[in-house]
Structure 1
Amino acid sequence: MTLLATERIKLFTTRSPWWCALLTLAVTIGFAALITGTTDAGGGSVAATQFGYQFGLPVIMVLAALSVTTEYRFGTMRTTFQAIPNRAAALLAKTAVVALLVLVIGEISAFGSWGIANLLKPSADFALNSSADWINVTGVGLVYALAAVVAIAVGLLVRHSAGAIALLMIYGLAVENLIRLIPNVGDDIYKWLPFNVANRFLTGDGSNRGAVLDGPPLSTSSLGTWWALAYFAAFAFVMLAIAITVTRKRDA
């Protein structure tokens, strides 16, 4: 508990988490208001309220990466490892605190987006009537939290804010889609890429969408909903395990 309290204090006494949290909420809820406000009266779907999820995700990953790279930048990571020789315990505590914060931000953004849609268009059917609807909303926090674990792992491996953020943004915004351009095997590889699989968890087969563009992009993964979540979680924790192993073997 002492480690968790220490990491909580370090996280909440810096400005970047607050700014990233506010930006995530503004982007996701703002897009929900925009998309809902431009649909026909009575139109729309639960999935449409979560359209901003894909724009909040990069900000969340920046938040998580900065929670690590900022410590390397100012040398406080060295002090942490001197005070806590068990580096794995210190890093797991940091990961737990950041992931929990991101989970809360994700749920607030998802339900805030859903709430603003109901407020702006009370005549539309935004009721959470099915498990797919519930996952589409509540699943945002889970995906954000696991994405934060991935970002922390990248931050530990790269250790520089600009490099880690650039790597995360390039991969998240471009690399997975570019993989599809590889002749013959591109689409087969893309089915197993982590963020494509994460979208499978959120969107399922898309049966609850009002239109193709409603909500996060549909996934081409063939995994079932909960298997997709398990796959993304496994990827996140394997990345974290690699990062902790590397961190334990090199100088702080």
Structure 2
Amino acid sequence: MRVLRAEWIKLWTVRSTWVTTLLTLALMIGMAVLMAQAIGSMEGPSGRAIDPKTGMTLTADSRLPGVTVVSLGYMFAQLTVAVMSVLVMTGELSTRMMRTTFAAAPRRFSVMVAKTLVVLVVTVTVSYAGLIGAYFATEDMLTGASAVDLSQTVQQRALVGVGLYLACVCVLSVGIGGLITHTAGAICVVVGVLMVLPTVFQIVTLSSDAAWVHDIYTYLPSVAGEQVILQGVKPPAEGEPAGLRAREGIAVFAGYAAAVWALAAVTLKVRDA
């Protein structure tokens, strides 16, 4: 408990924590409001949604679900969460201040656990606060078929899944920060794993019919984890191969995060600070 308290104090006495936290909230709420306004601008005189390209009325099935609008900010918030989580480790490892921490708390594994727990609590709290803010900010903009229906299980799962997804991003980033120790390098690796790698495989998938390419793409960390948010709300198109189920996807992502975190914990224990 003393280590936890110490890490909590250290986390909130660093300016970057306040910046990344406020930026996460701004991204989650701001992106939802922008998308809701874009949907509202498609409303025709009769109140029906009109496709600006074709001029045709959009059916309920073709409209963007309200829960997707509310949760859209997670795609951008994962970057700020990753930066905050990486800095929790690299902020001390890169400056050798970790030696002072280990002098006060010699049990290195306890320090690693405490650092992870404090940033995980902040991440989950901020992610759900951002969702609540996005919901109320867009409540009057999303009407009819685009309204959020909290009575639907798939929509409940999507909203809960945002917190689970960002929690996995947090643990994965802490692990990568512990392994690489340098802030810039660790952030580059996290961004590469979460965003660049899926984009590359998506491009290759579009230009190749090889089944193994799609299989690898399906099991990439962020692609697998996003299924808990996307499935049921955005079903696969006709002819598109189905990916992992929601529970399977988030379990795969959690497995990646846990494996990297465990490797970082072992490395931290045997490596000179």
Establish whether TM, by shorter chain, passes 0.5.
yes
Match of 1:152 in 2: 174
Match of 1:138 in 2: 160
Which of 60-69 and 131-140 deviates more?
131-140
Match of 1:223 in 2: 244
What amino acid does structure 1 have at the position aligned with 2:198? E
The 8 Å contact of residues 106 and 142 in structure 1, kept in 2 or not, is answered as: no
Q: 1:208 to 1:111 in 2, by over 3 A?
A: farther
Deviations 1:189-212, CA, capped at 9 Å, x for gaps: 111111101111111143589xx9
Q: 1:129 to 1:3 in 2, by over 3 A?
A: same
In 2, the alpha carbon distance for the partners of 1:221 and 1:112 equals: 32
The 8 Å contact of residues 225 and 251 in structure 2, kept in 1 or not, is answered as: no
What amino acid does structure 1 have at the position aligned with 2:133? G
Deviations 1:160-180, CA, capped at 9 Å, x for gaps: 111111111222221122134
Asked if 1:86 corresponds to 2:107, the answer is: yes
Unmatched segments (≥5 aa) in structure 1: 213-218
Match of 1:71 in 2: 92
Match of 1:215 in 2: none
TM-score calculated relative to the size of structure 1:
0.89
Q: Pick from 47, 51, 60: which aligns with 2:81?
A: 60
In 1, the alpha carbon distance for the partners of 2:163 and 2:33 equals: 19
Match of 1:117 in 2: 138
Q: CA RMSD, aligned part only?
A: 2.2
1:38 is paired with a residue whose SS is helix
Q: Pick from 218, 226, 231: which aligns with 1:191?
A: 218
The 8 Å contact of residues 196 and 220 in structure 1, kept in 2 or not, is answered as: no
Q: Number of aligned pairs?
A: 244
1:74 is paired with a residue whose SS is coil
- Residue 146 of structure 1, CA deviation: 1.4
Unmatched segments (≥5 aa) in structure 2: 50-64
Asked if 1:23 corresponds to 2:45, the answer is: no
The 8 Å contact of residues 191 and 220 in structure 1, kept in 2 or not, is answered as: no
TM-score calculated relative to the size of structure 2:
0.82
In 1, the alpha carbon distance for the partners of 2:4 and 2:220 equals: 32
The 8 Å contact of residues 33 and 117 in structure 1, kept in 2 or not, is answered as: yes
Match of 1:216 in 2: none
Asked if 1:4 corresponds to 2:4, the answer is: yes
Q: 1:129 to 1:207 in 2, by over 3 A?
A: farther
